[in-house]
Structure 1
Amino acid sequence: MSRIHKRKFRGKLKYKYLAAFIGVSLFLALMLTFSYYWYFNRIYEQQTQEYIRNMGRESVGSLELTMKQINTVILSIQSEDTIQDFLYGVDHHQYTIAEQARMQNIVRDTVYANILWTDSITNVYLESDRGYSEVWEKSGGGVIWNRDRRQFIYDGGGRAVWLGLDDFGRFMQVGAQINSKKDMSVLGFLMLQIPANDFRSHVENMSFTRDGKSLIVDSRMNVIVSTGDEVIRASGKLKDLISNDMTGSDLLRTNVAGIDSYVYIEKMNSADWYMVSLIPRISYLGVLHDLRVVLGVFCVLVLFGISLLLFYIVSRFTESIEDLQEAMRRFGEGDFNVICAVRTNDEIGELSQHFNMMVYNINDLVDRVYNANMLRQKAELESLRMQINPHFLYNTLDMVAWISRDKGVAEGADIAVAMSQMMRYTIKGPAMTNLGAELEHIRHYLTIQKLRYGDRITFIVQSPEDLMEFRLPKLVIQPLVENAIIHGVENIEQGIVVLDVQKMKDRVRICISDNGVGMEQSKIDEILGEDEELIMEAQDSIGLRNVNRRLKIRYGESHGLVIESVPGGGTRICVWIPMTENAEDNS
């Protein structure tokens, strides 16, 4: 493979993104500017009318809120048991002079308690149905009352009736009939007075342009409140508009005192009144011109702010990319301990996290390969040590067998022969073998154990003949059989050890089960654990740990031993060996 040459990258991604964003922003700004002027010249009249309608509705809503607050005060006073009892009592002469004086004080305190937090209410007039009246002045000035309006209040049947200004134009008056809560009989009426100047100031605040005028008229076109004489003179023209039900429709245009004006009419819900607003068109166009200038300056500021925001976003975006680039550069130069900071939760952050996982996995793979090489070297050294003069050991065992037969000790000869065959199988040959050779090695091992335990242990082999050529690592089954005998059935009267080999789809399962003493789960965890210090300290089950680690090194972490055991109920140890490696070996 040809060597990959490093290429120098001089362009900065940050400046490329920034230039692209600024270019797009400028293009959009120019397009929006031209579109804005075209759109503004085409529909400014419609926007003007919509603005006036909205402001008119808000103005009426604000005035309605004030009137509803006063209506709420009236409703609260109407429902006071003290006031109802007082009106009934004075009309039916139930009080003595002292009791009536005491009740007057109680009623006064009750009225003051209801109007205390409403600054707009100045005077309160309370009159029984038979003409007895009480007056309370909150701030002085006297109560001016036209008794002819009493019938208007009674016509309301208990709801608040706004009567308009008094005869002298000093107070706005609102009254309500008081009905008994027991039998709905008429007990009298209540009338509140609000300074006309306060009400007029509230209306003047609703003139939402500097030259706009407003007035409130009743259904008979009587002017209730106005903010200028010219609107009073225009009331005759407005009568036809109101009678034709033009309220709430599109803006109308009329001439008021020689000035072309918009007219907006809105009916009020709290009283049978109409709110009329007159806005000179020339004045309003001036306002829109000022608004256009403000919007132009605002657009420039927004564009500047967007540029700063784009610079910040691009810098933050490319910062994560630059961190990843630096980490990859250091990794390419051989720094396998580099860690890329994960700053965001987006795709760049995910790439940085996967890069860190890749570095970790590579380091883990390097460690595994290093450990595997160390184990292989250690095994090779051990193998070389064991192979020192093996012929001397074979000849010695043959001599022991010959002497045993010569002396008539057949068992000793069998042990020597079996031991010699086991040593040859263990020391000679490659690391992989077939199932038949492994079973033959186990038979030699059982020959020795048979002479030791006699008929106390029964060994059963269940293996299909078509699997005798199946390839597997050498000395995988014998340590499992040895563990079943020594740690399982050695101390029971009749032990049974079963070796079962079965083909399961693309794998071969080898299981060794016994009816021995079993083991605790903690012991199983200790055998299958990866704690190096614990493994070095443990003196038993070395063969099982050795087989477990060899299988994981050979086939991967998922191909270790599977141990099932119950204390007093025996043990079952299984090994799963894939068939794929046998296919590769055969090819």
Structure 2
Amino acid sequence: MIIMIGNTTINKLYREKLSRSLLLFAIIPTILVTGVFFQLFFMIINEISDRELTSQNKELSSFLSSEITSYKKEIQALQEDPRLSRVFQTDDVHNDIYKELYQVVTDHQLKSNFYIVDVEGSILLTNAYRDNTAQIYYDKYLTKVNKNQDKDITFYNEKDNHAADFTFLKMTAPIYDGNKVSGFIIFDLQSNQLRRFYENMNYTDIVITDPFGNQLFSSKRSLILDNGKIGVLSKKGYHTVSSSIVKDEFIVHSIRYEGLLQKGFFFGFLGLFVICGLMVIITRLFAISIARKKTKSIDTLLSTIQDVNEGRYKGYHQLEEEDEFETINYYLHDMILSKNLLLSENKEIHIRKTEAEIKQLQMQFNPHFLFNTLENIKFMIRMNPSSAEELLLKLSSILRYSIDNTDQDSPLKDDIKYIYDYLDIQKARFEERLNFSVEIPEELGTTPIPKLIMQPLVENAVKYGIDHVDHLLIKIKASRIGDKLVIMILDTGSGFSQSRLQEIRDLLHTTQNPSNHIGIYNVHRRIQLKYGRSYGVRVFSEENKGSLLLITIPYRKEE
């Protein structure tokens, strides 16, 4: 028994010594080596991070300094350009000034929206989308500008916008006409080009301030206090590198949150030992689980494609996993909807084209129109044979032009000739009660436009205007504005009431036409289906004074 106890004691001592040996010569050294490794690793990571942050701040500061300085030089050069002050007096220089401003923006990596405004806040030139909201905003903004300022460039920051692509800095300079400020040139510097300095940098953000700490741009809203100043310069866990640029007018801060790095050091040290033991098991289980889920996602995608091929597509079905296959599933659904929409629009284009052609034929062979015209010709044969022959030729010309459907587009001058013939026939009937004028620049005569796009609008002007006034005047004018062709049709008829005008405008924003405004709607819908929603017909009218219709289509050179 004593021997057994002795053996047990020896075995116990052996196990303890073995455990101690493993602890002293294996586990503890491993822990120490691992600890030293982690310490060195995170020191190196921290040093690399600091250098990277400094390099990134230097690169960003250099970029901003170069871009802002370049913009300042461009603005100063523009201020000395004598043509700039003429934009408020004549439209002749608008295209040249616009091209020059547009080239300035194009030459810079830091893009901007430019504006030429007068002292009242009216925008004359801009490369931004122009609407009432923008106009009201700039009216409000310009109240802050000193209209008697000298030629120095003034900087304004945009405090109320925190989107990733907002205007973070406004550069404003006066435009002089002699010693008088006639307007301002404004460049709104956009922040979207700053993304590359922080989007690919983990836990790194940038803040740009003025010398007083007021924010101009921040990649993260939480870095800014309620008073608009940067709030992390003295916080623990943040490392900041700052640089002054453009003669100390701006300060660029590159900020990195290092709290996660410190926590990562602690939890990484503890997790290393757990990971080693569980890695094989977890990897195996994870692979089995992922394989099963991925296979199920692929089967669902293949089923969707099969349903599309067989015409049994049931709509979007979200996958169980939010992964790359779900992205493919989403874009597959979007592609199917786009295809269906395209087929639907092509079908509608065909229907609209057919309706327009039928409408044109019906108009040309309208019994009332033909009867009145032929009666006039019959009367004029007795009284004035040469005029009757001319009128008959014009009738023949418009019938031949409208029946010829070989081309969807025609030169502007051909459509204008049709309008001339049509109005000449109507004038022969109504005599001095109807007058018209047409102003078409010679260089626009060969511009292709949708065939007979003006005819329904001119017909409406005569049809609904002549019976309500003693004298009807119709003016037609075409002009090129930038990359757009604008055709104006003005009449001095009875016009529309405000309620009727609003009804017509609401109709033009729909895809279905339940009303009897076929002519205006069909022209507007044909243009939008052909060129997109940026184009179409706009209607202006005042009761008992007349109406103005503006047809806007893309300007194209002769094909």
Q: TM-score range by the shorter chain?
A: 0.3 to 0.5
CA radius of gyration, larger in: 1
Q: TM-score, normalised by structure 2?
A: 0.43
TM-score normalised to structure 1 length? 0.41
